[in-house]
Amino acid sequence: MTNNQFMFLVFSVVIVVFSLLTVTSRRILRAATFLLFVLVSTSGLYFLLRFNFLAAIQLTLYAGGIVVLIIFSILLTSHISEKLAVPPVTKRIYAAIAAIAGAVLCILTILQTQFVQKTLDPARVHIRTIGEGMLSTGKYGYALPFEVISVLLLAAMIGSIILAKKRKD
Amino acid sequence: MIDFSYTIWILLIPLIVFVVTGLTGNRFKPIVTGIIGTAGLGIVFLLSVITAYKFFFVLDKVDGAFQRLLAFNYTWLNLTDKLHINIGVLLDPISVMMLIVISTVSFMVHIYSLGYMKGEKGFARFFSILSLFSFSMLGLVIATNIFQMYIFWELVGVSSFLLIGFYYEKDSAVAASKKAFIVTRFADLGFLIGILVLSYTTGTFDFITLTGPNSPAFTSGQGIMFLGMSTMTWSMLFIFMGGAGKSAMFPLHIWLPDAMEGPTPVSALIHAATMVVAGVYLVARMFPIFHHEQSALEIVAWVGGFTSLFAAVIACTQYDIKRVLAYSTMSQIGLMMLALGVSGYGGEDGLGYMASMFHLFTHAFFKALLFLGAGAIIHAVHSNYMHEMGGLRKHLPITHATFLIACLAISGIPPFAGFFSKDEILVAAFHHNKALFAMEYLVAGMTAFYMFRLYFNVFWGKEQHYHHTPHEAPLTMTLPLIILAIGSTFAGFIPFTKLVTSDSLPFENNTEWGIAIPSILIALVGIGIATMLYMKKSDTSKKVSIALGGFYTAAFNKFYIDQVYLFITKKILFNYVSRPVAWFDRHIVDGTMNQIAFVTNVASDKIKGFQSGQLQQYALAFVSGVIGLALLFTYLWTN
Amino acid sequence: MFEGVPVHWFLVLATTMFFIGIYGFLVRKNLITMLMSLELILNSVCINFVAFNKILFPEHLEGMFFTLFIIAVAAAEASVAIAIIINIYRRLVNIDVEKMNEMKY
């Protein structure tokens, strides 16, 4: 077992276990914390794959930004000590059947598929490459999605403010 | 060649006035709408006079006959290669004459209404509909083809409906307007059938083709016989049915007396001078074909003759002055129909045709005058009933004088207009049908009697107690009376034999004194009886009516024709036709629809549970669906 | 071959995580926990993209860029969703998804 395999398995176990805890924990703040662990482990996977920039983004934006946002809203809307009610059994059974069936179907399909794997390019991705790719308009350039995303972010920001602000009446 | 294309404006101006006043009616002061309407009709009147002058005196004749001109023509609907419906302006002697009649009377009525309708709630609406009526009536007489005529014919019906129901808050007015509309509409159904049969057999709608010397109507539709009459005869009879409905011929007359619920100027315009003569005009328009189908023409003559006698008898018994005038109108129109019915075609033979048009012309003047005078009387005493009137001659001098002229004119006393035209009718009847001729002598006497009965009852006799002293009408009302009185006096001197004849060729004709003098004497006898009975209030008239017994009661109740109609419609049609049809509609047609709605309702009630509003149920369904589809396409449907 | 870790491992991991997210979305009643389940789902997709990029198509950085964009969209989505949740909370004083059925039939 190589180091890579070992690390992958560690991260996988963390991800799967804490994902499960996230969706089953009855204390909502804990669920948010478990989600944080999942996201951090995912960024570990990215580090493993030598996408350092991406891993950093994952940490700062996901773990640092979104989870904090979620925790804030939890604090705004519920008590910390409050325990969530257990969902009804029938609902859990139906959901579990759907999820497991889907998972089995997908995994079977994945395992039956042959992928053409390429030899690894060990070189790290430079920030410079990413920046140029982000702003170039040529082939493998992403100027247009970049612009679209920026407009989307602006719209989302304004939209959230309008939605969340108190009505005068 | 004189350009007549401006005549289209005779049609367009009232339409424009109608649209403008109809849309802006409430924005202006009512009087502004009235003045716009009157001014519009004034222009139409001038244009009509100019057209008539040019047509009769300036335009060259072809072989001594007046031309028939298409002053304006526009193909509106192309049905087949040959059959198409045009909209246009046809000028020939009768249409030009009708233009004069309609525009004059309509103009007078407009002026009169300015005074009569003053202060009414629907003043603007009244003038607006009056313009619509003028437009429809003018369009009817200048129609180039029978279909255009039919369209305007229906428009006339609608505007008449609107005007009769002008006081729509009054139940009797609503009922009368409905009655008029339904009865004339029923008659128009016959007209439409006639048009369809005629156009189917001849392949044309066009008047010039249909009534020309080589008309297809003379040759086609002769072969197939039904009940002993040919197709063409039947189509003429159906067309005459439409004319009889509009002209209130027996037995389709029942709407006309009730139509007096409308404002009096309307009665003068529509139910005396213009709309009701549309039927006469229609028969005159189609006259060559009628003449070719002698059996149809015979029926026209007898229906006209019978109606004139029938209406005259009823008129002698009525007390409502407007109803007396209404029955008198029916009677006079019956005379016109009779004149057409006994007429031949061409030259001296076409005397009846000429007489009919002549009487139409003069009758328009004196009957409009009578109605407007009646309006002035009603305006003064606020009552329709002659036994609530009396001795009005001192209070209403102008109305009295003009009314007297009109009464003399309608009774056929020379030199007033009615004498000349009625005399021509009598001559025509004498030469063709002695029975009808005798009938008309009787009608002439009765006409004089009931008109003077009305006259004496209103203007002479004992003065009644009125709410306030009756006063003469304002100038806007008396001016039209005076103008129409002048018309009623002198219209008889117009040489109609030179102008309006069956084949457009002028002919010479002199008054036949052998027939005229007895008719004058009969009229004088009628007037004499009326004078005896009614000049002073006395019991003699009551005694006479009691002596006549059942006949008087029957005439007073209009011979129970209304009751017969009610019996047929209410008892027979409603019970044996409408009820079963209504049952079928309610239970079978509606039932089917209700069942469909019921099934849909139940089904939707059952499945609406799916729309639970539970987001997670939707998500579950969505995920299951996606998985199901994935399964289907990866394992089951893999070719 | 990424030094002994085949692409299948990544895909199986991502699938597992994805369906755990689905499960959470289907059973959780609280809107915020549903939102967290959604984050799991998005994250699993990101892992897929990155793994494909690194192992199958290492010449270019398409997968990585898309992951970046997904993170940006997720951030936007989270902010709008939380604004909506707060608004709902203000009106209904709870954020139970089962109570939000006013627009049913």
Give the total number of structural domains in chain A. 2
Residues in chain C with pLDDT values less than 50: 1
Higher pLDDT, B455 or B623: B623
Q: What is the DSSP string of B504-518?
A: S--------HHHHHH
Statement: residue B586 has pLDDT above 80: yes
Q: Cα-flanking dihedrals φ and ψ of residue B229, to 5°?
A: -125, 150
Mutation to test the A interface, candidates B618, B622, B623, most A Cβ within 10 Å? B623
Q: Is residue C105 one of the residues assigned to a domain?
A: no
Statement: residue B228 has pLDDT above 70: no
Same domain, A118 and A60: yes
Q: Do A95 and B634 touch (CB under 8 A)?
A: no
pLDDT digits (tens, 9 = 90+) for B237-275: 888 888 888 888 877 888 888 888 888 888 888 877 788
Q: How close B620 gets to chain C, by Cα (Å)?
A: 6
Q: Do A102 and B627 touch (CB under 8 A)?
A: yes
Q: Do B616 and C104 touch (CB under 8 A)?
A: no
Q: Is B586 left (phi over 0), alpha (psi -120 to 50) or beta?
A: alpha
Closest C-chain CA to B607: C105
Higher pLDDT, B605 or B575: B605
Q: How close C3 gets to chain B, by Cα (Å)?
A: 32
Q: For residue B415, is the peptide bond before it cis, meaning its omega torsion is within 30 degrees of 0?
A: yes
| Nearest alpha-carbon partner for B623 in C10, C78, A106, C66 | A106
B619 interaction partners in chain C (CB closer than 8 Å): 25-26
Give the total number of structural domains in chain C. 1
A-proximal residues of C, 76-105, CB under 8 Å: 76-80, 82-87, 89-90, 95
The pLDDT value recorded for residue C46 is: 92
User: Contact B314/B178 with Cβ under 8 angstroms?
Assistant: no
Taking the C-alpha atoms of residue B9 and residue B15, their distance in angstroms, rounded to an integer, is 9
**Residue pairs spanning B and C at CB distance below 8 A:** 26
pLDDT digits (tens, 9 = 90+) for B284-341: 888 888 888 888 888 888 888 888 888 888 888 888 888 888 888 888 888 888 888 8
Closest C-chain CA to A12: C13
B380 class by beta-carbon count within 10 Å (0-12 exposed, 13-18 middle, 19+ buried): buried
The pLDDT value recorded for residue B1 is: 58
Taking the C-alpha atoms of residue C3 and residue C6, their distance in angstroms, rounded to an integer, is 8
The pLDDT value recorded for residue C13 is: 93
Residue entry with tokens 């969530």:
A84
Token pair of B391, please? 């001795």
Closest A-chain CA to B620: A95
Coil, helix or strand at residue B227: coil
Coil, helix or strand at residue B230: strand
Secondary structure element (H or E) that encloses residue A8, with its range: helix A3-24
Q: How close B126 gets to chain A, by Cα (Å)?
A: 53
pLDDT per residue rounded down to tens, chain A (169 residues): 688 888 999 999 999 999 999 999 888 889 999 999 999 999 999 988 888 889 999 999 888 888 998 988 888 887 777 788 888 888 899 999 999 999 999 999 899 888 887 766 656 678 888 888 888 888 888 899 999 999 999 999 999 888 888 776 6
The range of the structural domain enclosing residue C77 comes to: 7-94
B-proximal residues of C, 16-45, CB under 8 Å: 22, 25-27
Q: Is residue C104 one of the residues assigned to a domain?
A: no
The CA-atom distances, in angstroms, between B436 and each of B14, B94, B303, B351, B433 are 41, 25, 11, 16, 6
As a whole number, mean pLDDT of residues B592-607 equals 91
Q: Do C50 and A46 touch (CB under 8 A)?
A: yes
Q: How close B627 gets to chain C, by Cα (Å)?
A: 12
Q: What is the DSSP string of B151-184?
A: HHHHHHHHHHHHHHTTSTTSHHHHHHHHHHHHHH
Taking the C-alpha atoms of residue B65 and residue B503, their distance in angstroms, rounded to an integer, is 8
Q: Is residue C100 one of the residues assigned to a domain?
A: no
**What's the pTM value of the predicted model, to 2 decimals?**
0.66
Strands B229-230 and B69-78: unpaired
R_g of chain B, CA atoms, integer Å: 30
In 10 A of CB C32, how many CB atoms?
23
Statement: residue B367 has pLDDT above 80: yes
Name B344's Cβ contacts closer than 8 Å, sequence gap at least 6.
B291, B350, B351, B352, B432, B502
Name B193's Cβ contacts closer than 8 Å, sequence gap at least 6.
B235, B238
Same domain, A61 and A47: yes
Give me the residue from C12, C61, C77 closest to A110, CB to CB.
C12
Token pair of C88, please? 């709902």
Token pair of B127, please? 């003038």
Mutation to test the B interface, candidates A105, A107, A108, most B Cβ within 10 Å? A105
As a whole number, mean pLDDT of residues B43-49 equals 89
Name B125's Cβ contacts closer than 8 Å, sequence gap at least 6.
B25, B166
Statement: residue B582 has pLDDT above 50: yes
Token pair of B378, please? 């009603």
The pLDDT value recorded for residue A49 is: 86
Q: How close B602 gets to chain C, by Cα (Å)?
A: 14
Same domain, A115 and A42: yes
| Nearest alpha-carbon partner for B243 in B322, B303, B288, B291 | B303
B627 interaction partners in chain A (CB closer than 8 Å): 98, 101-102, 105
B546 in reach of chain A (CB within 8 A): no
CATH number for the domain harbouring residue C31 = 1.10.287.3510
The pLDDT value recorded for residue A121 is: 62
Q: How close B609 gets to chain A, by Cα (Å)?
A: 17
A109 interaction partners in chain B (CB closer than 8 Å): 634
pLDDT digits (tens, 9 = 90+) for B146-205: 888 888 989 988 888 888 888 888 888 888 888 888 888 888 888 898 888 888 888 777
The range of the structural domain enclosing residue A48 comes to: 3-125
C100 in reach of chain B (CB within 8 A): yes
The pLDDT value recorded for residue A123 is: 63
C97 in reach of chain B (CB within 8 A): yes
Same domain, A156 and A86: no
Percent above pLDDT 90 for chain B: 3
Same domain, A167 and A121: no
Residue entry with tokens 């891993």:
A55
Same domain, A69 and A114: yes
The CA-atom distances, in angstroms, between B162 and each of A106, B57, B120, B126, B602 are 78, 39, 16, 9, 47
Token pair of B53, please? 């002058």
Residues in chain B: 639
C20 in reach of chain A (CB within 8 A): yes
Give me the residue from A12, A46, A91 closest to C27, CB to CB.
A91
Confidence of residue B224 (pLDDT cuts 50, 70, 90): low
Same domain, A140 and A107: no
The pLDDT value recorded for residue A169 is: 61
Q: Is residue C31 one of the residues assigned to a domain?
A: yes
Partners of residue B84 on adjacent β-strands: B78
DSSP state of B225: E
Mutation to test the C interface, candidates A70, A120, A130, most C Cβ within 10 Å? A70
C99 interaction partners in chain A (CB closer than 8 Å): none
Q: Is residue C1 one of the residues assigned to a domain?
A: no
Q: Name residue B270's amino acid.
A: I
Neighbours of chain B (3+ CB pairs under 8 A): A, C
As a whole number, mean pLDDT of residues B590-609 equals 89
Confidence of residue B631 (pLDDT cuts 50, 70, 90): confident
Q: Is residue C14 one of the residues assigned to a domain?
A: yes
The pLDDT value recorded for residue B223 is: 65
CATH number for the domain harbouring residue A22 = 1.20.120.1200
The pLDDT value recorded for residue A38 is: 93
The pLDDT value recorded for residue C1 is: 45
pLDDT digits (tens, 9 = 90+) for B429-483: 888 778 888 888 888 888 888 888 888 888 777 776 666 777 777 777 888 888 8
Secondary structure element (H or E) that encloses residue B229, with its range: strand B229-230
Least confident of B366-380, B405-419, B498-512: B498-512
Closest C-chain CA to B627: C19
User: Contact B499/B93 with Cβ under 8 angstroms?
Assistant: yes
Q: Do B634 and A105 touch (CB under 8 A)?
A: yes
Confidence of residue B64 (pLDDT cuts 50, 70, 90): low
Same domain, A30 and A80: yes
User: Contact B138/B11 with Cβ under 8 angstroms?
Assistant: yes
Helix B351-381 / helix B397-411 crossing angle, nearest 10 deg: 150
Q: Do B630 and A105 touch (CB under 8 A)?
A: yes
Give the up-direction half-sphere exposure of residue B65: CA atoms within 13 A in the CB hemisphere: 12
As a whole number, mean pLDDT of residues B557-563 equals 72
| Nearest alpha-carbon partner for B210 in B294, B299, B90 | B90
SS (H, E, C) B316-338: CCCCEHHHHHHHHHHHHHHHHHH
Q: Cα-flanking dihedrals φ and ψ of residue B164, to 5°?
A: -65, -40
Q: What is the DSSP string of B57-114?
A: IISPPBTTB---EEEEEEEEEE-SSS-EEEEEEEE-HHHHHHHHHHHHHHHHHHHHHH
Token pair of B73, please? 């023509």
In 10 A of CB B153, how many CB atoms?
29
